[in-house]
Amino acid sequence: MSNQQENSLLTQPLLAVDDALALLENAAKITSNTQLLALDDVLGMVLAVDVYANIAVPGFDNSAMDGYAIHLQAEQVDKTGGFAFAITDRITAGSIGKTLAPNCAARIFTGAPVPKGANTVVMQEQCELIENGSKIEVYQPLALGQNIRPLGNDIEFGELILTKCKQLLPQDIALAASVGIDKLEVFAPIKVGVFFSGDELVSPKTGALQAGQIFNSNRYSLVAMLNKLGCEVLNLGNVKDTFADSLEALKTLQSSCDLIITTGGVSVGEEDHIKPAVQKLGKLDMWRINIKPGKPLAFGNVGQSSFIGLPGNPVSAMVTFFLFAQPFIRKMQGIKNYQNQALKVCCDFDWQRENSRREYLRVRINHENLPVTVELYPKQGSDVLSSMVWADGLLEVPENTTFTQGQLLDYYSLT
């Protein structure tokens, strides 16, 4: 990137949150890599094709309960009076019964095929055995078709049962199995390369800290968030805080990853080397968002890989990953409904700190109140990682806004 382009980025006003989200949304490209996997291996994966039923479910009329299948005659329909039916068969699930003659009944169990000639099923509690169990007598009105699940009642042959870009849940997998499908074509996980800059960062396994050092929590939060999204992660770990090492890390990842994510090194300090390294190999389309926490958020590309540079503060990194990187990744994975979904909640606190940036406060739902409200964590600094453990969501406070208790605002669940 030229000095002129660099200066242009520096002098641009902070990008609005909605504009940043739109830029990322438009830039995200759905992966074209797919794989055929067994049902046991597709939970959480994203369907790459529409799925149609190649059979009807159920494939035959069957009994909805334990009882008696009966061959009613026209004069018996909707009439009350002690009708007796001779028991001529016993049908269990998986077996086929004989054709029922008029005034005959077959003992039948839930899921068993309704025999030819039968036109209704009466539950066993409504029948009385007579003549040493050779007949049943029914005293309630009888209707045609009761307690019979007809062929195709759940799924018709050729019906669209699962749509492309659906993230698969246990019930989706069960539905596929119910029509005899044992494998599904899904999008392959996207490959995300990560590394972390900052000479003050050390691994927790090193034990005691030296003066000026901190443990690298961002390495674990970022990898965990990517694993939660089902990404394939290539982790280079800590990289020395130099331009040359940052450049080498980006070169290592650009040829093998769909996306590169870093934390730190994208602000304006003399020791922030990742941003200029990205500009050396590719370009930045976005830098600095009108948001708190997380203003220094970068987006661009390095070769064929997209690039997201998260802030270095641990809360800022997690919040901006959730708000921006997560929907970007979900769209790349092929998920149809990739955006974070907001709920309106009632605040049980006052907020008088007007800010020109859109704020995302760490809050927790108080289920003891009706209607439910959200309470505020008392320390909202971008270094207070414990606030992310305490909170179950983020409360969006629009720019230049103050409010008093009872205000309705958008809440985004972190769980």
HSE-CB at 337 with a 13 A cutoff on CA atoms is 7
Question: Are 200 and 309 part of one and the same domain?
Answer: yes
In whole angstroms, give the CA distance from residue 132 to residue 303: 85
Question: Are 313 and 234 part of one and the same domain?
Answer: yes
Tell whether 154 is covered by a domain.
Answer: no
Positions of E strands within 265-390: 282-287, 291-292, 298-302, 305-310, 343-347, 358-366, 373-376
Tell whether 117 is covered by a domain.
Answer: yes
Alpha-carbon dihedral sign for residues 66, 67, 69, 74: negative
With H, G, I as helix, E, B as strand and everything else as coil, classify residue 131. Answer: coil
Nearest to 278 by CA among 243, 235, 310: 243
Alpha-carbon dihedral sign for residues 298, 302, 307, 312: negative
Label residue 73 exposed, middle or buried (CB < 10 Å: 0-12, 13-18, 19+): exposed
Question: Are 237 and 328 part of one and the same domain?
Answer: yes
Question: Are 197 and 178 part of one and the same domain?
Answer: no
Distances (CA, A) of 373 to 100, 389, 395: 62, 19, 11
Question: Are 270 and 168 part of one and the same domain?
Answer: no
Q: In this structure, are residues 29 and 332 in contact, taking their beta carbons and an 8 Å threshold?
A: yes
In whole angstroms, give the CA distance from residue 352 to residue 228: 36
Question: Are 265 and 308 part of one and the same domain?
Answer: yes
In whole angstroms, give the CA distance from residue 236 to residue 29: 24
In whole angstroms, give the CA distance from residue 261 to residue 371: 39
Positions of E strands within 272-352: 282-287, 291-292, 298-302, 305-310, 343-347
Tell whether 305 is covered by a domain.
Answer: yes
With H, G, I as helix, E, B as strand and everything else as coil, classify residue 230. Answer: coil
HSE-CB at 356 with a 13 A cutoff on CA atoms is 6
Put residue 97 in one of left, alpha, beta given phi > 0 → left and psi -120 to 50 → alpha: beta
Question: Are 45 and 172 part of one and the same domain?
Answer: yes
Q: Which of 289, 306, 332 is the last residue of a domain?
A: 332
Q: Can you give the CATH number for the domain in which 348 is found?
A: 2.40.340.10
Question: Are 199 and 305 part of one and the same domain?
Answer: yes
Question: Are 76 and 198 part of one and the same domain?
Answer: no
Tell whether 118 is covered by a domain.
Answer: yes
Tell whether 366 is covered by a domain.
Answer: yes
Question: Are 194 and 182 part of one and the same domain?
Answer: no
Q: In this structure, are residues 165 and 186 in contact, taking their beta carbons and an 8 Å threshold?
A: no
Q: Can you give the CATH number for the domain in which 119 is found?
A: 2.170.190.11
Q: Which of 149, 177, 207 is the last residue of a domain?
A: 149
Question: Are 260 and 279 part of one and the same domain?
Answer: yes
Q: Which of 87, 122, 149 is the last residue of a domain?
A: 149
Helices then strands (H, E): number in the chain? 9, 26
Q: Can you give the CATH number for the domain in which 166 is found?
A: 3.90.105.10
Question: Are 50 and 75 part of one and the same domain?
Answer: no
Put simply, whether the predicted model's pTM sits higher than 0.85 gets the answer yes
Q: Which pair of structure tokens corresponds to residue 363?
A: 């809050």
Q: Which domain holds residue 45?
A: 38-54+162-187
Question: What angle, rounded to 10 degrees, do the helices at 243-254 and 274-281 form?
Answer: 50
Nearest to 337 by CA among 159, 161, 163: 163
Tell whether 155 is covered by a domain.
Answer: no
Report the number of distinct structural domains present in the chain: 4
- What residues pair up with 201 in beta bridges, in sequence order? 214
| Tens-binned pLDDT, residue by residue, of the chain (415 aa) | 445 555 555 567 899 999 999 999 999 999 999 999 999 999 999 999 999 999 999 999 999 999 999 999 988 898 876 889 999 999 999 999 999 999 999 999 999 999 999 999 999 999 999 999 999 999 888 899 999 999 999 999 999 999 999 999 999 999 999 999 999 999 999 999 999 987 788 888 877 888 888 888 999 999 999 999 999 999 999 888 899 999 999 999 998 999 999 998 766 555 578 888 999 999 999 989 999 999 899 999 999 999 999 998 999 999 999 999 999 999 999 999 999 999 999 999 999 999 999 999 999 999 887 788 999 999 999 999 999 999 999 999 999 999 999 999 999 999 8
Sheet holding 120-123, edge to edge: 120-123, 67-70, 104-108, 83-91, 135-138, 128-130
Tell whether 122 is covered by a domain.
Answer: yes
Q: Which pair of structure tokens corresponds to residue 281?
A: 């190999």
Q: Can you give the CATH number for the domain in which 294 is found?
A: 3.40.980.10
Tell whether 302 is covered by a domain.
Answer: yes
